[in-house]
Amino acid sequence: MRFLMVEDSEDLAQSVAERLRLDGHAVDRAGSLSEAEDCLSAAPYDLILLDLSLPDGDGRDFLTRQRRARHDVPIIVMTARAAVSDRVDVLDLGADDYLTKPFDFAELEARCRAVLRRRGGASETVQRFAGFTFNPLTAQLVIAGEPRELRNRELRLLEILLAAPDRIFSKAQLCDRLFSYAESVSDNAIEVYVARLRKKLEGSGAHIDTVRGLGYRLTSA
């Protein structure tokens, strides 16, 4: 998944980004509201982590603009403001969750997973499709009782495809979801990860089809 972190503290942003990247997420950082707007105009995001106190304004204004424009990207507010009134305020403005600084990285990761599950309409962590079960928390794919471990990019690629079976994703769309601006990506990177995931899915009823000239889609036999 691709995250946008709107945070002016470079140290905190780097620490959070490093932790999320270990889970296979791509993370872009914006140090101000204007930078955040530029990022959103250039790429799609699965989740936004938003500080409230930023050099060029209040994160609540950014949140309000996103929701008035009917942009439904999940937003988790991260702030040192701990008053109940502050939490109620941002939740009423349309935030999906609220995390008070300082926070534990494990809690942040859990809240990200919960928000993304709700967005996908899933209440359970384990997903089932075409003869396999998939648990993103353990990075484990199980086919016919046999567990198969997924590497980070393979895991995130499967999450993307599994969220919309039969939908065609272009290489550009998959690159946007899997890699951040800071990462150098070769033309065949997506082909490599698709090939690896196809091998992991062998023995199930799921297939990753190549739609010539368009991209890839996850289908069931």
CB of 31 closer than 8 Å to CB of 55: yes
CA 105, 107, 112, 118: dihedral to nearest 10 degrees? 170
CB of 193 closer than 8 Å to CB of 158: no
Nearest to residue 27, comparing CAs of 143, 108, 98? 108
- Residue 155 is encoded by which pair of tokens? 């895991």
| Helix, strand, coil tally for the chain in percent (to 5) | 40, 25, 35
149 shares its domain with 203 = yes
The predicted model gives 64-90 an average pLDDT of 90
The residues with which 220 forms a beta bridge, in sequence order, are 206
Q: What is the pLDDT of residue 173?
A: 87
> What stretch of H or E contains 58?
strand 57-58
83 shares its domain with 46 = yes
107 shares its domain with 17 = yes
The predicted model gives 86-96 an average pLDDT of 91
Q: What is the pLDDT of residue 208?
A: 95
Chain segment 160-203, per-residue pLDDT in tens = 898 889 999 998 888 888 888 777 777 688 999 999 999 999 99
Nearest to residue 27, comparing CAs of 54, 63, 66, 1? 1
The predicted model gives 34-41 an average pLDDT of 94
Residue where a domain terminates, one of 51, 86, 119: 119
pLDDT at 93 over 60: yes
34 shares its domain with 106 = yes
- Residue 85 is encoded by which pair of tokens? 């009134």
CB of 21 closer than 8 Å to CB of 5: no
Task: Using pLDDT thresholds of 50, 70 and 90, give the confidence band for residue 62.
Answer: very high
Q: What is the pLDDT of residue 123?
A: 47
Number of domains in the chain: 2
Residue 71, helix vs strand vs coil: coil
- Tokens 């959070």 found at: 16
Mean pLDDT, rounded, of the chain: 89
Who has greater pLDDT, 194 or 113? 194
Task: Using pLDDT thresholds of 50, 70 and 90, give the confidence band for residue 22.
Answer: confident
The predicted model gives 97-118 an average pLDDT of 87
141 shares its domain with 74 = no
Pairing label, strands 26-30, 57-58? unpaired
Nearest to residue 32, comparing CAs of 55, 64, 4, 65? 55
> What stretch of H or E contains 88?
helix 84-93
Residue where a domain terminates, one of 88, 119, 150: 119
Q: What is the pLDDT of residue 121?
A: 56
> What stretch of H or E contains 209?
strand 206-211
- Residue 15 is encoded by which pair of tokens? 């620490």
The domain spanning residue 207 has which CATH number?
Answer: 1.10.10.10
Who has greater pLDDT, 184 or 56? 56
Q: What is the pLDDT of residue 187?
A: 67
- Tokens 């304004």 found at: 57
